[in-house]
């Protein structure tokens, strides 16, 4: 670790110590990978010095993320290999051929773990693409996010791996849902909606046949659309009746579905999705899981250009994990704290 003037940092460096505002609020947590977007934020708060990891340390060994592409090549390869395994398995099932879910889960889960523990992955996970159908790429991204969540929640490494495997397989049952329903732009008819929802029980049946009825992968396939208020499906479980792994996958699943660009709709802004998750943590999703998730991801919104509901453009200069949709925004020479200005909101 060494101390450098803020003006000297190069993108890709990792903070060895958290950075605070002059009034003592957390600005950037330790472990944040610095990007050009964060430079004006540090300047704005008059931060003159920062502590960064040494080149020798694990954090800085990884290649910097090349501009315009998503992630270092080994990460892109691991990601696309995992996606193609899922695509192949689900494709074979659609053609009525047998699939070894255990092998598929082990291989793609291990690859998802490799991607998950790459330093700085959260900076570009949403930009990793390999041209496959949304369902296959989504499966692997949920695997990556669920592995990270399991780690943040303090689960043992072997449990993290099990969660990653179950997460990659969570939508296996979609192989039995007609593709035209899965990719239909716009609203589904009630019948189509029921057919889409059947993927959770279909996934359970497929995975239970190989893993046994109580194993993690079939349980997660069955339970990842359950909600704590009992309004989920298929069984309307309440509270913590669903396994922790299922509650972890539920958060990762909602986040990826809401942030991803689809054929028929653009992904929603990060702050809006995190605000939604935080809200859902009071009713539908596990509050401990959503809190861990939002606290780790909210810093991704720092430094972003945003538009306020009064039309002004500004830059996010301080985030707030309690209300991810209400950061402090620098507009011209003034700072607007959206927690104080409840009449204003972010609109894009």
Q: Is 171 in the site for Fe ion (CB under 5 A)?
A: yes
**Which residue number, 145 or 338, has a Cβ lying nearer to Fe ion?**
145
For residues 113 and 241, what is the distance between their CA atoms, to the nearest angstrom?
27
Q: Is 253 in the site for Fe ion (CB under 5 A)?
A: yes
- The first and second tokens of residue 225, run together, are 């659309």
Measured CA to CA in angstroms, residue 20 lies from 39, 90, 265, 296, 330 at distances of 14, 48, 37, 16, 17
- The stretch among 97-105, 152-160, 165-173, 301-309 that binds Fe ion (CB under 5 A) is 165-173
Count of residues interacting with Fe ion (CB under 5 A): 2
Q: 84 with 130: CB under 8 angstroms?
A: yes
For residues 210 and 263, what is the distance between their CA atoms, to the nearest angstrom?
34
Least distance (Å) from Fe ion to the CB of residue 78? 20
Q: Is 137 in the site for Fe ion (CB under 5 A)?
A: no
Q: Is 270 in the site for Fe ion (CB under 5 A)?
A: no
**Which residue number, 53 or 253, has a Cβ lying nearer to Fe ion?**
253
For residue 307, the cross-strand partners are 313
**Which residue number, 137 or 171, has a Cβ lying nearer to Fe ion?**
171
Q: Is 223 in the site for Fe ion (CB under 5 A)?
A: no
**Which residue number, 148 or 346, has a Cβ lying nearer to Fe ion?**
148
For residues 47 and 54, what is the distance between their CA atoms, to the nearest angstrom?
20
Q: Is 226 in the site for Fe ion (CB under 5 A)?
A: no
Least distance (Å) from Fe ion to the CB of residue 262? 13
For residues 186 and 263, what is the distance between their CA atoms, to the nearest angstrom?
10
Least distance (Å) from Fe ion to the CB of residue 206? 13
Q: 44 with 317: CB under 8 angstroms?
A: yes
Residues forming the site for Fe ion (CB under 5 A): 171, 253
């Amino acid at each position: 670790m060494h101390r450098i003037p803020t003006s000297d940092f190069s993108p890709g460096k990792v903070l060895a110590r958290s950075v605070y505002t002059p009034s003592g609020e957390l600005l950037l947590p330790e472990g944040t990978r610095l990007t050009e977007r964060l430079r004006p934020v540090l300047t704005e708060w008059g931060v003159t010095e920062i502590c960064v990891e040494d080149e020798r340390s694990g954090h800085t060994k990884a290649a910097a993320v090349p501009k315009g592409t998503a992630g270092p090549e080994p990460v892109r390869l691991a990601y696309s290999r995992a996606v193609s395994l899922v695509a192949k398995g689900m494709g074979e099932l659609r053609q009525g051929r047998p699939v070894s879910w255990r092998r598929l889960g082990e291989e793609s889960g291990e690859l998802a773990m490799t991607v998950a523990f790459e330093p700085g992955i959260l900076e570009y996970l949403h930009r990793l693409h390999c041209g496959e159908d949304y369902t296959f790429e989504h499966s692997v991204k949920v695997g990556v996010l669920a592995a990270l969540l399991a780690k943040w929640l303090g689960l043992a490494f072997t449990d993290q791996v099990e969660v990653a495997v179950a997460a990659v397989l969570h939508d296996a049952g979609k192989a039995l849902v007609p593709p035209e329903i899965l990719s239909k732009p716009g609203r589904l008819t009630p019948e189509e909606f029921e057919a889409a929802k059947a993927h959770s029980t279909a996934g359970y049946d497929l995975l239970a046949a190989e893993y046994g009825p109580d194993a993690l992968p079939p349980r997660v396939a069955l339970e990842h659309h359950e909600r704590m208020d009992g309004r989920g499906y298929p069984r309307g479980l309440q509270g913590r009746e669903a396994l922790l792994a299922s509650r972890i996958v539920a958060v990762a699943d909602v986040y990826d579905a809401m942030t991803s660009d689809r054929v028929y709709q653009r992904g929603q802004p990060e702050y809006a999705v995190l605000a939604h998750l935080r809200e859902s943590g009071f009713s539908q999703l596990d509050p401990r899981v959503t809190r861990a998730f939002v606290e780790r991801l909210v810093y991704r919104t720092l430094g972003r250009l945003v538009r306020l509901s009064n039309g002004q453009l500004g830059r996010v200069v301080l985030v707030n994990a309690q209300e991810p949709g209400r950061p402090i925004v620098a507009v011209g020479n003034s700072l607007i704290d959206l927690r104080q200005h409840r009449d204003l909101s972010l609109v894009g």
